[in-house]
Amino acid sequence: MLQVQGLSKKYGAIVVADAIDLALESGHCLGVIGPNGAGKSSLFNLLTGVARPDRGSIRLDGVELVGKPPHQRARLGVARAFQIPQSFANLTVYENVLAAASFGAGLRGARAALRAQHALQRCALGARSGELAGRLPLLDRKRLEVAKAIATNPRLLLLDEVAGGLTEPEVAALAALVAELKAEYAVIWIEHIPQALHAVADRILVLHFGRKLLEAPPAQAMASREVREIYMGLPADA
């Protein structure tokens, strides 16, 4: 479904994407790890059209996305949950998701409402739908971020550190949600917490200075010398 080839981007001397190749099918989850500043969120900026690559191609079901603005990519099925939740604090949970269904998916009236309800149910937020988004506890704010992405009716779901700041049981709850979602979408999940990815990701991509250092099944990636040395800052025999 997703085919990324030779994706490259620099900001001055900072390389955020260095000839990245990726392929992903629906029903699969690619986990992405890497140190701060490795280029993880930048990859999502390139996929969503917030940033323009210097080189390379991004195809979704054969359609070239490079050159298309973010709103067109959203209509083609690219959705993102942000590293820092971006909800409207003074709107209700339902209104936030309805806005995503309306402006992201371009739905109107009853169809938008149905889509919003579906996204809330899917993310276990049905009981919270009347509450103000700004009043939600952190786990539910993260769920809302995912629900808004789902409400846009995506095919490719991009999750940027949605488990950040959560307790261990909360991380497990969110990982269980992502595991369910991956049946319906192609998921790319950036996370600093490798344990969260372990249970859900089919493969893990390790980014370092914008370069794809390694892509492997979770156990293999986490046991690799590169990850231990560079991502965790440990010598290989520690």
Contact residues toward ligand ATP (CB under 6 A) are 11, 14, 16, 34, 36-42, 83
Least separation, in Å, of the C-beta of 105 and ligand ATP? 26
The one segment of 34-42, 123-131, 146-154, 212-220 that binds Mg ion by CB under 5 A: 34-42
Are 201 and 3 within 8 A, CB to CB? no
The identity of residue 147, as a single letter, is A
Strand partners of residue 10: 15
The one segment of 41-49, 94-102, 131-139, 230-238 that binds Mg ion by CB under 5 A: 41-49
> Which residue's CB is nearer to ligand ATP, number 11 or number 88?
11
Q: Dihedral of CA 218/219/223/224: which sign?
A: negative
**Can you say how many angstroms the Cα of residue 163 is from the centroid of all Cα atoms in its chain?**
11
41 touches Mg ion (CB under 5 A): yes
> Which residue's CB is nearer to ligand ATP, number 140 or number 160?
160
User: What are the backbone dihedrals phi and psi of residue 219, each rounded to the nearest 5 degrees, phi first?
Assistant: -60, -45
88 binds, among Mg ion, ligand ATP, none (CB under 5 to 8 A by kind): none
Q: Dihedral of CA 153/158/159/160: which sign?
A: negative
Closest CA relative to residue 181, chosen from 206, 151, 161: 151
14 binds, among ligand ATP, Mg ion, none (CB under 5 to 8 A by kind): ligand ATP
> Which residue's CB is nearer to Mg ion, number 22 or number 120?
22
Residues that bind Mg ion (CB under 5 A): 40-41
